[in-house]
Every structure is written in structure tokens, then in C-alpha cells.
Structure 1
Amino acid sequence: MIAPEFPEDLVWLNTDRRYTMRDLRGRFVLLDFWTYCCINCMHVIPELKMLEERYPELVVIGVHSAKFENEMRVENIEKAVMRYGIKHPVVVDSGQIMWRTYGIKAWPSFVLIAPDGEILGRTSGEGIFSILVPIMEQLIPEYEKRGSLHRERMMAGMTQKKVSGILSFPGKVASDGDNLFIADSNNNRVLIVSQDGDLVDVIGSGEEGHDDGEFGYAQLFRPQGIAIVGDMVYIADTENHMIRLADLGRRTLMRVAGTGRSGRPGFGGRGAEVSLSSPWDLVFLGDHLYIAMAGFHQIWRMDLDGMVEPYAGSGAEGLIDGPLEMARLAQPSGLTTDGNRIYFVDSESSSLRVIDGGVRTLIGRDLFYFGDIDGDFERARLQHPLGLIYRDGSIYIADTYNHRIKKADLSSRSIHTIAGTGRPGFADGPGDMAAFYEPSGITFLGDSCFIADTNNHAVRVYDLRSGDVSTMRINMKK
């Protein structure tokens, strides 16, 4: 079967032109069907980069087929392309025209097209590099003999725009009661600042990597969650698939869990010997560090001796309540505790859930049940929430794709918006007029709620007393 032409009315990103299948003749084409919320789609981005570097005869085209309503907006996809350093062209398939044409059923999925336009095959899931390399090694000589293969690289990688300002896609925020810790994710560092925004210290050199050592030398890779115990700061080093430990007294950073490569769900073991997968948030309860293991669709935990193991979730994606080992989770991305229970937001099921003996859902119904509805828990809807924090009987939620901050009262079992218009933007002022852009982290310091406003590259402050939102000014001079 010959690959159908790209629909003419689709928007192209990350390129200065629109491509046709005829333009791509003479080269292998790999269509990557993805959506930017999908953790597995994030995991294959490095694999696609390796394939592009290895084979100049191969052109990768991203086909962004959205799951959530928020992901259909072109400007939001542009932010995701920038955030994850994607250099190949991306075609926006928000109406899922190409998705249906190619019979795609899951994210990520791949279709390989030959230099003569014939569809060679398709596959889904992670591991595309190991799947495709032997196929390419066999097919390249064959098509070269036919004289239908162009060996030179067709397009140079797009030059990535740089974020101007101090922060770049900040993910999570945490507090030790005195200072604010900011996961400055795309700058590969954690900033420690006072409540007034004065710089206290910086964990990480800013260079992408995984080296341990003194703060100014050590490396992180898009860190997210932070948990603080005294002078010890645990960091979810998300794209390194590690848990790191920063000693504030000694100003050193070291790995305490994770091999550095995303693996498959297992039974756990000694920290540095166990494969983790996109740890996204952390919280301490008792003598355990709990880990939102987004890539495994599980909650893990680590004890003080460095043993790490699955705690909740079977590893199968879904929204099913029940005993810890049988429940199904869907990309848990935020954790908090009231001192007795663990609460978490399950981003792919747009749900608020609690671990109290077993797993129980408070808000949410299934993987495709989402929206922006306040009110009783039973009817309320969220859209891909990533952050939450417990305070005084309520859960404050960064409802990421609704661009709002919401407060869920656990006693009345109701939720309402306290800040955000529901549309992406950047505006301070009264809560109902303030605008956020995919906020994903939230914490408290005193009577102020600090919010990582990810796509605005800022930390915003919600004042509990006045209900006003302001933007934190960070002074990088010590």
C-alpha cells in the first residue's frame, strides 16, 4: 500500500515549509504518532534523535494527534516541541485525520514508509530504536541497489529557541518552611530562594547530565519533584530516571536510586541497581520516601536503607480502585500527604486519588473522562492535573490543562476554582482574573501558595488572605 498524502489543511511546526509525500521520495520516512501528555511518547524522543543521527536516509515526521482538548491548541504544541527539544518537523493532526487514515490505536505509534512510498509496517510503544535498527540495516542496501535511495541528509535539525529569563519550564516547587525550592526543569537545576525571591543556593551546574559532585559541577536532566528532610533534599531527576540526594551542608549531589535508564516494572531492590521510569514527584511519610513513578503507572517507595520497591499499582495503565497491588493508575504525577494518607493526582485519568489501605478515587472516572467542572466530587472534572498540596483539610490542585488552581475540601467533598480564568495566559490580579499557562507544581510557604507556572516560565504567588495572584521576582545575585 502506498502512503496517503498529508492533508493539505494541517498545520506544520518546526519547519519552514509543508512537506508532501512526493517531497520525501527517495528516503525512508518514520511517522511518529504522539501527544505531548503521554509519558511513553516522551520516552521515545531520545530514541528518535538517535535514529535521525544514525541514518541520514531517514526522515522523522511527528504527527501530533491530541488526547486532551488542551493539546489541540497549536501554541500549546509549539511549547511542548520547545520543551522537549524536538528538532524534526511536526504536523498537527488535532482532528485525528491521519490517525484514522493509518488505523492508529495508541500513543506512541510508528509507521515506516519506504523510499518509493510503500508502507512497510507499523508498531506501537517504546523501544523503537532497537526495533528499527536491524530493519534499516537490512533495507538500506536493498533500496540502494534499486537506485531509489538518497543517502544525504534531507533536512538539518531545527535550531531550538531559548527561553529568555531566569526560569525555563519550571516543574515542581517545595518548601522547607523558610525557603522555596524550584525545579527549574529545562535549565537542569534546582533553585533555592527566600520567600522574597533572593537566591540562597543553586543545585546543579545547569548542564544536562547525571554526574554527581559539588553543586556547581553536578548535573541533572529536567528535574521535577522535591522532598526535603532537614538539610537533605531528595530530587526526582526525571529524565535521568533517578532519585538524587542533595546535602545542603556539604553542597553535594549524589544518586540514591535508579540505573539511569528507563526500565520495565519490576520487584525493586537496592536503589542504584533498580531501573526507574520518569519519577515525577516525591513525598515523605513516616520513614519512607514515596515516588510518583509516572513511567510505570505506579507509586513506589524507598526506605532509609536505600531499598526501593513498588507500593501501589499493578503497572497496567487505567483507573481501577482496590488493593494496592491490584489497583490501576495512569501516569501519577503529583504526591502530597496529610500525615496519615498519600494523596495523588493521576494525570492521564484526570483524577484525584488517595491511598488509605488501598487506592480510592475521589475525583475522576476513566482515562477519557476529563473537563473543567467544579462542585461535588462525584460530578467534578479535572484535565490532566500535575500538582497538589495538602493544607488544613483541603487539597490544592494545579489543574494543569485547565490553567487553574483549585481547592478540594475533603470534608464537604467539593472542589472549586480559586485562581485562573481557564484560558492560557499571563496576568496577575484577583484570582478570578489571573491567568496561568499549564501550572504544574504547587506548595505553601506561610500564607502564600507558590505555583510553578510552567509555560510562563515563572513562579506565581496566590495570597490566601486577599485571593490575589502576583508574580515572584527572583534575584539571582547572592
Structure 2
Amino acid sequence: MDVARGRLYFTDVSNRRVRVVDLTTGIIHNIAGGGTITGDGASNIGDGGPATAAVFSTHPMRVMVDAHDTLFVTDAHHNRIRRIDPATQMISTYVGNGAEAYAGDDGAAVRASLSVPHGARFDRAGNLFIADTRNHRVRRVDGDTGMITTVAGTGREGYSGDDVPAATADLAAPLAVDLDGDGNLYIVDTDNDRIRRVDASSGLITTVAGVGKIGALADGTPAREACFGRLRDVIVVDDTLLVADGNNAIIFRLDLSTGIIQHIVGTGTAGFSGDGGPAIHAQLRHPYSLARDEAGNIFIKDCYNYRLRRVDAVTGTISTIAGNGVEGFAGDDGPALEANLSC
């Protein structure tokens, strides 16, 4: 999920589409996906044609917008990152040859192999960092050369290697990444139940949160002692991390200067409630993706409530901005609040 120029972009996963909500008008549109497979080979996913005729896999997981308003979609089970041109609305493959494997480092990203990529983010220089989930790696595509490299992970699933070069450390199904203004990389190391950091200067990896156990999260817990319930996304805001904890049904804030965790959205009990009131008293049902606009408003993909929700930066009030709570696909070009969404 990403927000740019007053528009919220999100992947409607089971519907195999990318949709957008105009935050001024409240209208929802389909901007990519909805095509049908008609043949064999790369052409059957729609590359080279209109994005609305393209075919996504069963899991188009995340969408990002770069500084030029170009959209990028992690098409997980097609093992690709796909690119939608803002001028022509044509779709192409930016990273990945479609084979589920690990290959291609130090070569052209479009010829590399990925394995079910999920989250991805751009740094300020236009380099793309990809959570190559089933390869248990984070990979980097150089924005100038288009070359791909591994920046974290050995490819072995596990936990090891703090305070060593990140490429020599084990990860376990990383789902999401983000970067701070200095280029430090934060990784949601999902199956290790940890958040890890790769220092931009030294390249060393450390754990910033998580003891490595599944459990409930208590406010005020030092980050290195915290248990989580399957982390799903992270965004960096100055010296703070905002994190979606799916199974604990909360969004929490980690103050990097103090190392203390505090939940800011959700009660910790899955459900749907709280619109119009304080976000901390609302219920979520497996929050999966996060975005934040320039005003500081937080947007949440409330996955199994089939809604997109917004937390006001000034009042702390939560509201639904898209989805009627019914799973399905309906409502394009109409009010987003009346649309059916999937997870």
C-alpha cells in the first residue's frame, strides 16, 4: 500500500488487482489486473499491454510509487516486480524472469530469479529493496544500472549473524522492508519474529526488536524483549518504526531512541469496531499493510475486515475509507465505502 498525491494505492490480493482510492472524492478505481490467461509463456501475463488487461498471480502483494509516480507491484507467485508507466498505463516486468529460484546477482534485474517476493521500498536515490521472501534474502536493484545484488541473507532459513555483514546472516521469510533517511534498512524478519536493521555505513546487521517468540505484546516492553504475533509491515518515520502485527491485531510504535514499544491502533483482540473513535480502542482483523501521507495520517489495510482504514494524525480518530466489509469484487468507479474488497 502506498499514498501519493492524494491517492491511496493498494493490492486487492485475491481479486488479483491493483486499485486506487481518490482521497478527495472517495471514489475507487481499478488500475491494474483483471485480464485472463490466454496462452503460454511471458506474454500470458500481459506485459507490453494496458495494465488493466494484465494478469497477476494469486498474490499481488504490495504496491509502491516512486518519485516519478511510476507504480511497482510485487507479483509474488509470478516471481516478478512489475512496473506501470504513469504516462501510458502500460505494464512491464522490472525485476524477475518468472522462475521461482535464486539466481542473477550482479546481473540485470529483469533476468534474475526471485522466490515469492513480498514487500519492497525505494530509497531516496531510487534504488529498490525487495523482500525476496522464500529466498530468505533482501535484494537491491540499482536505480541507475538496473543491476541486482543481495544485501541481506544467506538463503538459509534461520536466525543467526547479528553484528556481522548482513549478507552472511540468516533470515526467515522476510515480508517487508523500509529505509530511513540515512539509508539504514529495516527488515520484517517474519518467521524469526524480529525486526532487523542493516547499517548503511558498515553493512552490519542487528536485531532492533523481538525475542524470537510468538506472543502477546505488552506496552512499555523493551523492544529486544518483545514477543510478536506475526509481523506484516513496517514504515520508518524519523526515529520511529510503525509496525503491523497481524495476529495480535495491532499497530505499534517503536521509539528507536528509547527502544520502547507502545501500541497505537487496535485493542489486541481481533474484530471490527471503533470507527469514529480513538484508534487505540478500535478492533482490527489482521492488519497487513501500512502507508503514511505527508500530513502524518496512517492508512491500514485491515485485511480480514475487507476494509482500508485511516487514523487521523491530529485527532487519533480511526475511520473506514474503503470497503463495506463484504469479501468480493465490486464497486469500481463508485464510492469506495460501498466497494467489495478481498484480502
TM bucket normalised to smaller: 0.7 to 0.9
**Superimposed CA distance per residue, residues 327-386 of structure 1 (whole angstroms, 9 cap, x where no aligned partner):** 2222111112333421111111111111113111112344xx101112322320111111
1:307 to 204, 212, 237: 204
TM-score by structure 1 length? 0.55
Distance in 2, Cα, partners of 1:332 & 1:193: 28
Distance in 1, Cα, partners of 2:280 & 2:179: 29
Equivalent residue runs for 1:281-296 within 5 Å:
281-287=176-182, 288-296=184-192
- How far apart are residue 201 of structure 1 and its match? 4.9
Distance in 1, Cα, partners of 2:207 & 2:230: 14
**Superimposed CA distance per residue, residues 273-311 of structure 1 (whole angstroms, 9 cap, x where no aligned partner):** 110011111111133111111111111111123211211
Higher-Rg structure is: 1
- SS of the counterpart of 1:290? strand
Instruction: Give the total of aligned pairs.
Output: 277
Equivalent residue runs for 1:54-133 within 5 Å:
none
Q: Which moved more, 1:356-365 or 1:175-184?
A: 356-365
Equivalent residue runs for 1:334-349 within 5 Å:
334-349=233-248
2:85 to 191, 194, 197: 194
2:97 to 205, 209, 225: 205
Distance in 2, Cα, partners of 1:316 & 1:410: 32
Instruction: Quote the residue 1:15 is aligned against.
Output: none
Instruction: Quote the residue 1:85 is aligned against.
Output: none
- Cα distance change on mapping 1:215 and 1:266 into 2, 3 Å: closer
Please say if residues 253 and 264 of structure 2, whose CA atoms lie closer than 8 Å, have aligned partners that are also in contact.
Answer: yes
Distance in 1, Cα, partners of 2:301 & 2:270: 15
Instruction: Quote the residue 2:271 is aligned against.
Output: 371
- SS of the counterpart of 2:151? strand
Distance in 1, Cα, partners of 2:210 & 2:314: 26
**Superimposed CA distance per residue, residues 75-100 of structure 1 (whole angstroms, 9 cap, x where no aligned partner):** x9xx7xxxxxxxxxxxxxxxxxxxxx
Distance in 1, Cα, partners of 2:283 & 2:132: 30
Distance in 2, Cα, partners of 1:263 & 1:228: 26
Please say if residues 293 and 331 of structure 1, whose CA atoms lie closer than 8 Å, have aligned partners that are also in contact.
Answer: no
**Aligned residue identity for 2:263:** T
Instruction: Quote the residue 2:156 is aligned against.
Output: 261
1:386 to 270, 288, 304: 288
Instruction: Quote the residue 2:335 is aligned against.
Output: 430
Instruction: Quote the residue 2:171 is aligned against.
Output: 276
TM-score by structure 2 length? 0.76
Please say if residues 187 and 222 of structure 1, whose CA atoms lie closer than 8 Å, have aligned partners that are also in contact.
Answer: yes
Instruction: Quote the residue 1:320 is aligned against.
Output: 218
Equivalent residue runs for 1:148-167 within 5 Å:
165-167=54-56
**Superimposed CA distance per residue, residues 417-438 of structure 1 (whole angstroms, 9 cap, x where no aligned partner):** 0000111111212011111110
**Aligned residue identity for 2:100:** E
**Cα RMSD (Å):** 2.1
Distance in 1, Cα, partners of 2:303 & 2:198: 28
Instruction: Quote the residue 2:261 is aligned against.
Output: 359
Distance in 1, Cα, partners of 2:244 & 2:313: 15
Instruction: Quote the residue 1:32 is aligned against.
Output: none
Distance in 2, Cα, partners of 1:420 & 1:265: 41
Distance in 2, Cα, partners of 1:407 & 1:345: 14
- Cα distance change on mapping 1:198 and 1:403 into 2, 3 Å: same
Distance in 2, Cα, partners of 1:320 & 1:291: 22
Distance in 1, Cα, partners of 2:115 & 2:135: 6
Please say if residues 342 and 354 of structure 1, whose CA atoms lie closer than 8 Å, have aligned partners that are also in contact.
Answer: yes
Greater helix share, structure number: 1
- How far apart are residue 206 of structure 1 and its match? 0.9
Equivalent residue runs for 1:241-252 within 5 Å:
241-252=136-147
Runs of 5+ consecutive residues of structure 2 not aligned to the other structure? 1-12, 15-43, 47-53
Distance in 1, Cα, partners of 2:205 & 2:108: 25
- SS of the counterpart of 1:386? strand
Distance in 1, Cα, partners of 2:225 & 2:213: 9
**Aligned residue identity for 1:175:** V
- How far apart are residue 220 of structure 1 and its match? 0.5
**Aligned residue identity for 1:231:** G
- SS of the counterpart of 1:432? helix
Equivalent residue runs for 1:6-45 within 5 Å:
none
- SS of the counterpart of 1:236? strand
Distance in 2, Cα, partners of 1:247 & 1:293: 23
Please say if residues 298 and 312 of structure 2, whose CA atoms lie closer than 8 Å, have aligned partners that are also in contact.
Answer: yes
**Superimposed CA distance per residue, residues 50-93 of structure 1 (whole angstroms, 9 cap, x where no aligned partner):** xxxxxxxxxxxxxxxxxxxxxxxxxx9xx7xxxxxxxxxxxxxx
**Aligned residue identity for 1:294:** T
- How far apart are residue 312 of structure 1 and its match? 1.2
- How far apart are residue 200 of structure 1 and its match? 5.9
Instruction: Quote the residue 1:474 is aligned against.
Output: none
Distance in 2, Cα, partners of 1:170 & 1:417: 23
Please say if residues 337 and 390 of structure 1, whose CA atoms lie closer than 8 Å, have aligned partners that are also in contact.
Answer: no
- Cα distance change on mapping 1:216 and 1:394 into 2, 3 Å: closer
- How far apart are residue 405 of structure 1 and its match? 0.5
Identity value in percent: 31
Distance in 1, Cα, partners of 2:149 & 2:178: 18
Please say if residues 263 and 280 of structure 2, whose CA atoms lie closer than 8 Å, have aligned partners that are also in contact.
Answer: no
**Superimposed CA distance per residue, residues 164-199 of structure 1 (whole angstroms, 9 cap, x where no aligned partner):** 952111111112221111111110010122235323
- Cα distance change on mapping 1:343 and 1:376 into 2, 3 Å: same
- How far apart are residue 399 of structure 1 and its match? 0.8
1:413 to 313, 316, 320: 316
Distance in 2, Cα, partners of 1:359 & 1:437: 30
